[in-house]
Amino acid sequence: MVLPLYDTDPLDRNPWAVVTWTLIVINVIVFLFELGASEETGLVMIRDFAVIPAAITGQVTLGGSLPPIMSVFTYTFLHGGWAHIIGNMLFLWVLGDNIEDAMGSVRFLLFYFLCGAAGGLMHVFIYPDSTVPLVGASGAVAGVVAAYFILRPCAKILVLAFGFVPLRLGSAWVLGFWALAQVWNVLMPHKGDTAWWAHIGGMLAGAVLVVLLRRPELPLFECMRPGDALNVRANVSPENRRWGSR
């Protein structure tokens, strides 16, 4: 297990990752509300906002305030515990600003929700009869991981390996290992409580969407050297500058 702490990939457009920070703040606020909510309120939040596959496929009726299909967007803001939210928010904090920088804020917000929805729908496809709620931003974050891998495979990331060993590794190694771990776990007969298929769905969506939503001048699988970000910015046309602005 690895937890990212910091990356060295420069932001070449705008250091103010407003959408990334806002998503983190909303997730934390919702989680704190969950912690302080009564048992009844907590059950209502799960009923209305968590992905419950059997409700989406029409096999059970829950009587929530929203159509069940809308939960593929709302479930990303609910989390099952401190470890769950800290892990997701660390990945979003370290990697999300770079993907927002590569797309622009509006497109990144669309990207994030589509990856989350893809993760939720993949989970429903694999477990259509399940009444176990799916919560967490992992599907959306998995899309961010895939996008970062495709755009910046040679960036350096400081991680905590096994929760306590600090290492500075290339992102291709860190994120590639993380992706392989998701595939490994979906192949295991005992999958535990983690919705691994939601991670796979988010990753697949992220890999496709980053090609479509990135700024058109950004190459894929680029290995940038120090100072290259400044050169990219200097060579961007005024039209593309406006397109990618926040």
Is the confidence at residue 167, as pLDDT, over 90?
Answer: no
Sheet holding 165-170, edge to edge: 2-7, 156-161, 165-170
Cα 36 from Cα 49, distance rounded (Å): 17
This prediction's pTM: 0.86
Look up the domain containing 209 and give its range.
2-244
Please report the pLDDT score of residue 135 as a whole number. Answer: 97
Cβ burial, residue 28 (10 Å; 0-12/13-18/19+): middle
Is the confidence at residue 240, as pLDDT, over 60?
Answer: no
Instruction: Determine phi and psi for 31, rounding to 5 degrees.
Output: -65, -45
Mean pLDDT of 232-241: 45
- CATH number of the CATH domain containing 170: 1.20.1540.10
> Rounded to the nearest 5 degrees, what angle is found at the Cα of 173, between the Cα atoms of 169 and 178?
115
* SS3 state at 23: helix
Categorize the per-residue pLDDT at 161 as very low, low, confident or very high, splitting at 50, 70 and 90: confident
Please report the pLDDT score of residue 222 as a whole number. Answer: 78
Task: Please state, for a pLDDT cut of 70, what percent of the chain lies above it.
Answer: 89
Please report the pLDDT score of residue 166 as a whole number. Answer: 87
* Residues paired with 134 in a beta bridge: 51
Is the confidence at residue 48, as pLDDT, over 50?
Answer: yes
Please report the pLDDT score of residue 3 as a whole number. Answer: 84
* 136 closest CA partner among 60, 30, 208: 30
Of residues 71 and 3, the one with the higher pLDDT is: 71
Is the confidence at residue 163, as pLDDT, over 90?
Answer: no
Q: Count the domains in the chain.
A: 1
Mean pLDDT of 170-196: 86
Please report the pLDDT score of residue 10 as a whole number. Answer: 78
Token digits of residue 49? 């906002």
Please report the pLDDT score of residue 63 as a whole number. Answer: 83
Structure letter (DSSP) for residue 123:
H
Contact between 133 and 51 under an 8 Å Cβ cutoff? The reply is yes
Locate the DSSP E strands across 112-242.
156-161, 165-170
For all residues of the chain together, what is the average pLDDT? 88
Is the confidence at residue 201, as pLDDT, over 90?
Answer: yes
pLDDT, tens digit, for every residue of 124-136?
999 999 999 999 9
Contact between 92 and 198 under an 8 Å Cβ cutoff? The reply is no
Mean pLDDT of 160-188: 86
Please report the pLDDT score of residue 99 as a whole number. Answer: 96
Encode 64-98: b = buried (16+ Cβ within 10 Å), e = exposed.
beeebebbbbbbbbbbbeeebbebbbbbbbbbbbb
Other C-beta atoms lying within 10 Å of the C-beta of residue 9: 21
